[in-house]
Chain A
């Protein structure tokens, strides 16, 4: 149950003892079935909902009781005032369920469960097809496994990084040969032009006269 931090205590004000017990059970069932009901405001609304549902039961019991009377049994109808009140109550129940997201949220909850199931399935799939996910580290030649299929790829060292620092030596070669400008090499690296000077000074160790 999601209300385990006890952020809300069900009270059941206005209900008889037996109704209160039944309502409390329903309240807890809702929380278990809809884990998104974990905020104080939502839980307050949920108590309203189970209250109205308990009232609904009352109306239904009353209708059942009246129906046992002979004249009512013969006419085969239910008093209109009772039916109207029951119908109004049902409307409110539906409105509250809508507000609590008991219809649409079910999809969301299912989306999370679906995703979790999908992850489990993919785990099984990876275990059954390990070679499809096998990779060889291009630096140390050790084998490791990815969560992405690697059968159509070849391990490759990115020319853009040296010890995790952004520097592309082939591009710097072109730059030093004057085949690309500082602006172009900076754009290719996705940095400012001053960074190019910084790389020359700190990574490539090229001494420049100021």
Chain B
């Protein structure tokens, strides 16, 4: 073996320094497969703590000096490598904590098994496709390639015996976190960590090596205090590894971007602006839905390893409007007793959901999303769907003008008893009032009702229906991601609900309309028969 030269030592010093390695090896962080001899990437100043310093620290020598055992030596590594980066959008969280760190650690840390986990395959692809591409095409990195398998179950085996596997949390499935089973990793990357559920977290705890695991976690602040992300954020042990930034740490944040975000989220005090731009943790909110119960009660199960059906979703933009009849392929199931069509009507986004009533259950069949259509165009689509499905109950969110316009158009074409008018600020009958002997109180021959605001009652009804397993919900990541981050906050005497999801809250709102429609047209009708509410007949051929 030849002697090591000063030049060799100088080379290795740069090679082992995370910032130098990253900037020299990758001139374009978005495409790490590219290598340039005269162009360099840039890890911004604020991003420097996002990169792990593990590759520059000699843990073995440090452990030997302090007479530490292997487990204690690993703790040194963990103290160096752990990170919980929770913050706003677009300042390079995943880019540095995960993507660039993976490229760095996979080359520098030999003989380990690591895992990259995220809520669904889309988030996994986003990072690991790039890593795969880099190890197969970067002229230097490809020296490490031994065998690489791509989606859906990524598997990287490098020549230095660094093995990396993907773990899809499958949040929207009935058994989330199943892929952690049988793994013993000493390094875990968690993308969109704020969405990790307790079930997944518990499975992850069982999947770490006997010394533990270095945790590289990044996500937004749309978690609640007692979720796994919340516990990490406020945890005593994790405290020194937690970093929280707003979007405006990014040097490219400017007035134009601010205007765009204000318009998108509706003002600086809007919850979504506080979370997605300011990176604030909303401490006064608690998660409204117990999603583990919802998944258990309502999600279509996996039978004999067969993936359950996915929700059928149709998206109609103004460009696709002329062809909407060929785009929206829906039919009334033969076993449907009634068809419920409910919608959240927004100015730009209109979310329609279709449920089929079978006995006491509601099968979530279709999700139709309309983007930037005029009221007349929207109504044309509603009419088509209503008639094609021979709908029985049609509910509109009439909180704003467009919803009311659609409702009055529908009122002209269909019997009023088939329609449901939802307005969160209005009250609806939720029960009768009773005297001390539990008799219904009557006034002028009419029962006296107890009333509640639709906005609050719809959420409680929704929770009851979900926990009672009254919905049949196919695989739908959008549904899971919106319902998982619904927070309730007490405001005076009322409770406010906020959905802190990047995909918006329209699907949740459409389900709130559904909960009210179901209450009015089904469950409230089955309470003591004081009067016969007009039963809802089907539009078209079927009637009850």
Contact = CB atoms under 8 A, between A and B. Distances in A.
B202 interface: no
B225 interface: no
B243 interface: yes
Contacts of A161: 48-49
Nearest to B277: A194
Interface string B280-310: 0000000000000000000000000000000
A36 B249 CA distance: 43
Contact of A191 (B16, B160, B251): B251
B12 A195 contact: no
Contact of B249 (A145, A163, A195): A195
A143 B250 CA distance: 35
Interface in A36-56: 36, 38
15 contacts: A2-B146, A112-B144, A122-B8, A125-B9, A126-B58, A144-B76, A148-B16, A149-B9, A161-B48, A165-B244, A166-B45, A166-B46, A192-B252, A194-B248, A195-B246
Given A38-B145, A147-B12, A163-B240, 4 more contacts: A112-B159, A127-B61, A143-B62, A198-B278
B253 interface: yes
Interface string A147-190: 11100000000001101111000000000000000000010011
Contacts of A130: 61, 65
B56 A145 contact: no
B258 interface: yes
Given A189-B46, A190-B44, A198-B248, A147 B57 contact: yes
Contact of A148 (B8, B46, B56, B253): B56
Interface string A1-29: 01001000000000000000000000000
A109 B145 CA distance: 11
Interface stretch (A65-73, A78-86, A113-121): A113-121
A29 to B, nearest CB: 18
A165 B45 CA distance: 10
Contacts of B46: 166, 189-191
B55 interface: yes
A132 to B, nearest CB: 9
A166 B43 CA distance: 14
B36 interface: no
A190 B45 contact: yes
A35 interface: yes
B543 interface: no
A192 B246 CA distance: 11
Contacts of A194: 246, 248, 253, 258
A5 B147 contact: yes
A108 interface: yes
Given A121-B1, A125-B9, A195-B249, A148 B146 contact: no
Interface in A134-152: 142-149
Interface residues of B, number: 46
A111 interface: yes
Nearest to A186: B251
B143 interface: yes
Range for the number of chain A residues in contact with chain B: 35 or more
B250 A191 contact: yes
B254 interface: yes
Contacts of B144: 112
A192 B249 contact: yes
A133 interface: yes
Contacts of B258: 194
A124 B240 CA distance: 33
Nearest to A165: B243
B62 A144 contact: yes
Given A148-B17, A149-B9, A117 B1 contact: yes
Given A121-B4, A148-B17, A192 B251 contact: yes
Contacts of A147: 12-13, 16, 55-58
Contacts of A165: 243-245
Contact of B248 (A119, A126, A145, A192): A192
Interface string B234-248: 000000100111101
Contacts of A189: 45-46
Most A CB contacts (10 A, CB to CB) among B11, B12, B65 go to: B12
Contacts of B66: 142-143
Nearest to B280: A202
Interface string B501-528: 0000000000000000000000000000
